[in-house]
Amino acid sequence: MKIQAILLCSTLLILMLSSCQKTSNQSRQFEKRLNINVLTKNQENIEVNLRCWYQFSSSSDKTFDEKGQFINQNENIDPILKATVYSAVRTVIKKYSSKDLYLIEKRTVENEIYDEVKSLGKDSIYGLKTQFNDFLLGEIKYPHIINQAKNSNLLNEYDLLKSKKPRDRLKAIEKLLNEGSETSYSIILEHWADENNQENRDYILKKLSEAVKKKD
């Protein structure tokens, strides 16, 4: 009888303690690394690597335990976080061309994204608001041809090829063809499919033909 009484008391004590578990509407701080593919102002795809520190607040007092962890262990926070961060990154990056991003200080872009992400975090998603405590912009990976253009001091010409004015594009084409380097020819070849001005296309073909004849 004594053993049964002890077991009953133990069971009751466990139930009482579990029912008294402290809950909260505020999470602990989380950390996340993200790699985001995004388009620049001139429609070039780049990869942005970043790291952020954040926490959630909920309208319910029973979302998090006393350690700030989700009570529901199956809670998937990725869609909540990514929806906010992806939107902020795209809003900022689409204002800049690849050349602009190369030349501007990384800290400036980082601050812009941080301000945007904090603003978006105020909106409730799936009943949770996101508070961003810190944000670190890592490496920005550009298409390989842009790196080549930068290293060969041809970034201005690369950027000028994106102009809507055929005359501006022709100036860049002339400079690249006169350069005569492997990188300059690679830039021309990449641009070829996007060149819609027939005179510019004819000029490229003419100069490339002349270059081939000289080598022969």
Q: What is the dihedral of CA 90, 93, 98, 103, to 10 degrees?
A: -160
Report all structural domains of the chain as residue ranges with CATH numbers, in order of start: 23-142 (3.30.479.30), 145-215 (no CATH)
pLDDT at residue 62, as a whole number: 63
Percent pLDDT > 70 in the chain is 77
94 closest CA partner among 163, 164, 160, 36: 36
Q: What is the pTM of this model?
A: 0.65
pLDDT at residue 8, as a whole number: 44
Residue 42 exposure: Cα atoms within 13 Å on the Cβ side: 17
pLDDT at residue 142, as a whole number: 82
**Which pLDDT band, with edges at 50, 70 and 90, does 186 fall under?**
confident
pLDDT at residue 109, as a whole number: 93
Encoding tokens for residue 5?
A: 């009484």
Q: How many CB atoms lie within 10 A of CB 195?
A: 18
Encoding tokens for residue 181?
A: 């380097």
Q: What integer best gives the mean pLDDT of the chain?
A: 80
List, for residues 107-144, the tens digit of each pLDDT value. Answer: 999 999 999 988 887 766 667 778 888 889 998 888 88
**Which pLDDT band, with edges at 50, 70 and 90, does 17 fall under?**
very low
SS3 47: strand
Q: Residue 46 forms beta bridges with which residues?
A: 38
List, for residues 142-171, the tens digit of each pLDDT value. Answer: 888 888 888 899 999 998 998 999 999 999
